[in-house]
Structure 1
Amino acid sequence: MRLYLPATLDELTATTEGDALLAGRTAHAVTQALRAALPDEDEEGWEFAAHLAAADDSLDLLRSRPEAPALRLVVTVDVPDDAVGVGPQPGATPSAVLLTRAATLAEVACVHVDEPAVAGDVRAALSGDVAADERVAEADLLWYDVSEIGDIPT
């Protein structure tokens, strides 16, 4: 199952394919609830919606990790279905699911991260600046292959 994991750059510490990273956490996926919430979308639209929800959750993670680089990060992984548990509590985002074990570096398909120029707006958004929050929400995340994780600028 393809999952979009919200994360922070300081959590990307795995260096070999078998290394575990991003242990059990709320993730996002194309779920039946998401399909029902967005009936006019296609598979690509649902995947994008799940990805955006993970980006929003990454911003929330940054609030609790002030030492992390101020850039949103979404790690896309492909895990077996049995690694995915029931989603979070009622009222949660329709794409929310639970990764019940750590993903490995070998399961990472790619990562998406804000470009460094967005860091100022991320910091301002974390401080409650509504205009900065809107700019962050509009900013595209840059795509990196798993082999490029060590080259991500911060």
Structure 2
Amino acid sequence: MRVYLPVTLAELQHVSPVLLAPRVAHAVTPALRTLWPDEDEEGWEYAAQAGAADGSLLLLAGSPDAPSLRVVVAADVPEACVRDLEDPPVPSAVEVVCRVELGQMVSVHVDEPAAAADVAAAATGDEFAIERLEDRDLLWYDVTEIGQIPAG
């Protein structure tokens, strides 16, 4: 099952063979499909990734020393490793209860460095910065490029 894990850049750069788990992640869930019945698989995947980007922003708000870029890791994990949340904050939210190994990571999605000021402001609750971030797409990186991701 494809999941989108919110992480920080600092956390990603310290990935040995494993990302932290359990954690709230995002996926294409039945609730997400119901919310947007006219969407296609790609649209639902984009919505799940956006939910994870918001989750990354929340992590940054709790870690003011972290580089100010939203980071999402796409990973394929066994369905048995994904559990529904009792009261999910958004329709795409799930819990990943197993370790996520580097070999399960498919791609990494990161803000471009020019977004760092907006990300930092959004992490402090700046509504205008949050709106500007909604208009930004995350850049795609292959897992082999993790060491080349700019820190902002």
- With normalisation by structure 1, the TM-score equals 0.93
Aligned runs of 1:99-114 on 2, under 5 Å?
99-114=96-111
Unmatched 5+ stretches in structure 1: none
Aligned length: 150
- Does residue 122 (structure 1) correspond to residue 123 (structure 2)? The answer is no
Q: CA deviation at 1:91?
A: 5.0
Q: CA deviation at 1:86?
A: 2.1
**For 2:55 and 2:126, how far apart are their aligned partners in 1?**
17
**For 2:39 and 2:135, how far apart are their aligned partners in 1?**
20
**Larger displacement relative to structure 2 (32-41 or 90-99):** 90-99
Aligned runs of 1:1-150 on 2, under 5 Å?
1-12=1-12, 13-15=14-16, 19-87=17-85, 89-90=86-87, 92-150=89-147
RMSD of aligned C-alpha atoms? 1.1
**For 2:76 and 2:5, how far apart are their aligned partners in 1?**
11
**For 1:91 and 1:111, how far apart are their aligned partners in 2?**
24
Q: Is the 8 A contact 2:19 2:100 kept in 1?
A: yes
Unmatched 5+ stretches in structure 2: none
Q: CA deviation at 1:95?
A: 0.8
Q: CA deviation at 1:130?
A: 1.8
Indicate the percent of aligned positions where both proteins have the same amino acid.
Answer: 56
**For 1:74 and 1:91, how far apart are their aligned partners in 2?**
19
**For 1:91 and 1:146, how far apart are their aligned partners in 2?**
29
